[in-house]
Amino acid sequence: MRTDPAAPPADSAVVRDALGVGVAVGLSGFAFGVTSAGAGLGLLQTCALSLLVFTGASQFALVGALAAGGNPFTAAAGAFFLGVRNAFYGLRLSGLLGVPRAVRPLAAHWVIDETSAVALAQPDRRTARLGFTITGLTLYVLWNLTTLIGALGASALGDTDAWGLDAAGPAVFLALLAPMLSGTVERAVAGLGVLLVLLCQPVLPAGVPVLVAALAAPAVLTVHGRMTRGTEPGERR
Amino acid sequence: MTIWIAIGVTAAGCYLVKLLGLSVPAGVLERPLVRRLAALLPVALLAALTAQQTFSDGRHLLLDARAAGVGAAALALVLRAPFLVVVAVAVVVTAGVRAL
């Protein structure tokens, strides 16, 4: 379909990719709406999260921690730490997109895994902007719409646990985690994180065990740093 | 009220880190150690959250139908099923085991 081979890639290809990502992930708002309502949050609270937080893993983490009886600040802390990665996407996007100062506060809200993936895959500023905008818009609209539908549906179902919907949250986390487990260090961090949270769960207040488990990242990084320094002397000096 | 406080703090915090990334000059957060830690933090948190919500009722550790559901979801991931299918498998298997 590409008529002008000198203009890579065709806008239609960028739009198609952006729409594909936006639609597929946007529909997962349904799982969030159901999980959030099942965790006892009201319709307004559930929709406020999708509208204002708009970064899926953080939203799931927050409702999970609240459902477990965590206090608002430990629950928010876990969600916040998961959101920190978006700062690093922004860092890489700011040069590529060259967002004008006036638009920055708006564009920032859409800086998430999916918009970054699409934008960073583009070769130049124009197509990166196009990919970012279309992914962001599609995802934002669909994510919020399906959150609303999911929350309404869950309230209509009554006991969401009987329908197995309490397994949606952990399944979402697992699906987000799986592609990150590419290396030995990542697997060690995940394993230690699981161990820490299960050990702390019966003895620490709700919300705190997950924060303790976050320490698996610096712990493994420190040990790994020592080991590589030991085997490859001089490499890091 | 507690829930609204948590929503407010999370929304503000998550928005500010997004804005921070777009606003700070490149190089400030580019130190290799900081980057590496930022990539590993979600791994630790997601693994912990998966385990916690699979094997706990919020207070105590327990093994119930969710473990079967999440196990089936893991299998679906290994078979490269799409995101929504993975979640659906977990829900259906959990409900199925509970109905037995």
Provide the ipTM.
0.90
Beta strands in A20-137 (DSSP E): none
Select the residue from A173, A180, A195, A236 to test the B interface by mutation, using most B Cβ atoms within 10 A. Answer: A173
Cβ(B3)–Cβ(A72) under 8 Å?
Answer: yes
Q: What angle do CA A104, A110, A113 make, to 5 degrees?
A: 130
Q: What is the pLDDT of residue A11?
A: 87
Cβ(A127)–Cβ(A9) under 8 Å?
Answer: yes
B8-49 pLDDT tens trace: 999 999 999 999 999 988 777 778 888 888 889 889 999 999
Closest-CA residue of chain A to B7? A49
* pLDDT over 80 at A193, yes or no: yes
Cβ(A147)–Cβ(A29) under 8 Å?
Answer: yes
A2-16 pLDDT tens trace: 445 445 567 888 999
- Other CB atoms within 10 Å distance of the CB of residue A212: 17
Q: What is the pLDDT of residue A7?
A: 52
* Inter-chain residue contact B14 with A202, CB threshold 8 Å: no
